[in-house]
Amino acid sequence: MAFILIFAATIIALLWLMQIVFFEEFYQNYTSQQITRSASRMVKRIDDQEEFNQYVQDLTINQNYCIQVFEKVDAQHFQELPLATGENASCEAIQANQDVSKLYAGALENDNELVDVEDIQLEFGGKPLDAFANMTVTNVITSKNDNTYMVIVNARLSPTSETVAASTRQLFIITWVVLAMSFIIAYLIAWTIANPIKKTNGKAKLLAQNNLDIHFDARGYMEIEELNDTLNYAVEELKKVESMRNELMANVSHDLRTPLTMITGYGEVMRDLPGENTKENIQVIIDEAQRLTQLVNNLLDLSKIQTNRQELHIAEFDITTTIQDIVNRINKMLANDGYIIEFNYSEELFVYADKERINQVVYNIVGNAIHFTGSDKKVYVNQRDEGHRVRIEITDTGKGIKKSQIPYIWDRYFKQPKKWKRQDIGTGLGLNIVKGILELHRVEYGVESEVNKGTTFFFYLDKA
């Protein structure tokens, strides 16, 4: 609102300056420019006596100019050319008091143009006859024939006091009208733009305080409505994220609580019951402690990826041997549960990547495949040589994933379409970690799946 009023006040101030303060100066500058152009045109016509006289006569009658034209004879003398302007007592009185040599010298000192304004008082028989402001413009011009001419034009200036007084009264009216209209427009703009923005800003602050039970309903210009629609969409997405975050925390808490319960239970049994201090019971405690360590490490890795603090150490390594070691380790771990992980490859291949992080990727994807594979409990890991790249595939035989859900399986809090249960390996955070690591490597990755036909996760690595 203040900006509109300031803008209006600036425009009004400019009008006052142009129409009142500098009006007389503008008027005199404009008149002198017009006279200079007329003098130049006169000299251009000077070789055609008839045309020249007609032009001078037109200026005398239409513009009320008093005109004298002198041709330079030598360095000291000028000869006045006869003009068909008729007799004019005022012109003769003005011209009688002019010093031609002085005007010529003054014009030469000012780039061949001299402008002088003075008040003239004409008298007849010792009595005042007429008084007015007179502008004398002297121009020294060279013709096409290299003849030098001095054109002296006297012009009666119209009084500007009455014009300025009339303009002043008009500007007072315009000033009040413009200020009133500016105030009204500013108020309307504030009502239609500023108030909805204030309302939106207030609710946005509530949203920043994690208040998700708000709705942005401020209306006004199209941009404001689009902003509110976008914020409403953001609120809905935040609600979904909050819901999934709570569910994830519940699932992670479950995974934390279960091994802690088993460690506590087995520890109490070994303490209280004779003969229970066996290697098997100690191994259970070790396994559950390692599961807790893995969960904490995955949470830390997820935090690093999300905050762009995860660093890569790229080096050449044997991807075939690396995957084979992971498969052998998992097969040994799950031998009693009947799971079989089969690794298929044609030759050993080397790649450029961060070996430790690729280990994590393979381990997490295989763990996810084991969790969702079919009743045959089989998972297939395939290595394919594709020229300058190596394609790694991990395939399960489970129920697959609907096409509508595939784009979201990498999301941080995506809920798998299967009732939560404690995993045999992994923590349930694996796929989001996998996504972050592969994107840090800037490699292609994805999922291929059909309902009731299993799922294949794949990614590529650059060959060494």
User: What is the model's pLDDT at position 323?
Assistant: 96
Structure tokens belonging to residue 37:
């152009």
- The mean pLDDT of 215-233, rounded to a whole number, is 83
In a domain, 233, yes or no: yes
In a domain, 391, yes or no: yes
User: What is the model's pLDDT at position 87?
Assistant: 62
First to last CA, the chain: 66
- Are 294 and 321 contained in the same domain? no
Instruction: Give the range with max mean pLDDT: 173-177, 190-194, 412-416.
Output: 173-177
Least confident of 19-33, 229-243, 347-361, 392-406: 19-33
Of 170 and 402, the structure prediction assigns the larger pLDDT to 402
Domain count, the chain: 3
Of 296 and 162, the structure prediction assigns the larger pLDDT to 296
In a domain, 188, yes or no: no
| Average pLDDT across the chain, whole number | 82
End position of a domain, from candidates 273, 303, 333? 303
- Give 321's pLDDT tier (boundaries 50, 70, 90): very high
Q: Tell me, what amino acid is at 92?
A: E
- Are 99 and 234 contained in the same domain? no
User: What is the model's pLDDT at position 422?
Assistant: 40
Range of the domain at 64: 2-164
Task: List, in sequence order, the alpha helices (H) in 152-221.
Answer: 161-189, 195-208
End position of a domain, from candidates 164, 180, 202? 164
The model's pTM is 0.46
Which of helix, strand or coil describes residue 142? strand
Structure tokens belonging to residue 77:
């003398």
Strands 445-449 and 148-157, sheet pairing: unpaired
Of 425 and 130, the structure prediction assigns the larger pLDDT to 130
Determine contact, residues 374/343, Cβ cutoff 8 Å. no
Residue 88 has pLDDT above 70, yes or no: no
In a domain, 214, yes or no: no
- The mean pLDDT of 384-394, rounded to a whole number, is 95
Give Cβ neighbours of residue 461 (< 8 Å, ≥ 6 apart).
Answer: 319, 351, 352, 353, 358, 389, 390, 392, 441, 443
DSSP notation for 344-400: E-SS--EEEE-HHHHHHHHHHHHHHHHHH--TT-EEEEEEEEETTEEEEEEEE-S--
Structure tokens belonging to residue 266:
């087995």
- The mean pLDDT of 115-142, rounded to a whole number, is 74
Q: What is the DSSP letter of 463?
A: B
In a domain, 169, yes or no: no
Residue 319 has pLDDT above 80, yes or no: yes
Of 237 and 252, the structure prediction assigns the larger pLDDT to 237
- Are 295 and 323 contained in the same domain? no
Residue 380 has pLDDT above 90, yes or no: yes
Determine contact, residues 334/424, Cβ cutoff 8 Å. yes
Determine contact, residues 112/39, Cβ cutoff 8 Å. no
Least confident of 93-97, 193-197, 308-312: 93-97
Q: Tell me, what amino acid is at 327?
A: V
Of 461 and 402, the structure prediction assigns the larger pLDDT to 461
- Give me the CATH number covering residue 28: 3.30.450
- Give me the CATH number covering residue 276: 1.10.287.130
User: What is the model's pLDDT at position 292?
Assistant: 83
- Are 9 and 146 contained in the same domain? yes
Packing angle between helix 430-441 and helix 279-306, nearest 10 degrees?
50
Q: Tell me, what amino acid is at 77?
A: H
User: What is the model's pLDDT at position 160?
Assistant: 66
- Are 278 and 254 contained in the same domain? yes
In a domain, 209, yes or no: no
Least confident of 15-24, 318-327, 428-437: 15-24
- Are 52 and 103 contained in the same domain? yes
Instruction: Give the range with max mean pLDDT: 107-111, 417-421, 425-429.
Output: 107-111
- Give me the CATH number covering residue 381: 3.30.565.10
In a domain, 444, yes or no: yes
- Greatest CA separation found in the chain? 151
Name which of 326, 398, 395, 331 is nearest 362 in CA terms: 326
Which helix (DSSP H) or strand (DSSP E) does residue 417 occupy?
none
- Are 227 and 355 contained in the same domain? no
In a domain, 181, yes or no: no
- Are 296 and 358 contained in the same domain? no
End position of a domain, from candidates 261, 283, 303? 303
Name which of 382, 378, 399 is nearest 455 in CA terms: 399
Structure tokens belonging to residue 205:
């602050």
User: What is the model's pLDDT at position 302?
Assistant: 72
Which of helix, strand or coil describes residue 115? strand
Which of helix, strand or coil describes residue 123? strand
- Are 397 and 435 contained in the same domain? yes
- Are 44 and 158 contained in the same domain? yes
CA distance linking residue 323 with residue 461, whole number of Å: 13
User: What is the model's pLDDT at position 449?
Assistant: 92
- Are 273 and 326 contained in the same domain? no
Residue 412 has pLDDT above 50, yes or no: yes
Name which of 406, 368, 395 is nearest 453 in CA terms: 395
Determine contact, residues 382/344, Cβ cutoff 8 Å. yes
- Are 276 and 326 contained in the same domain? no
User: What is the model's pLDDT at position 418?
Assistant: 47
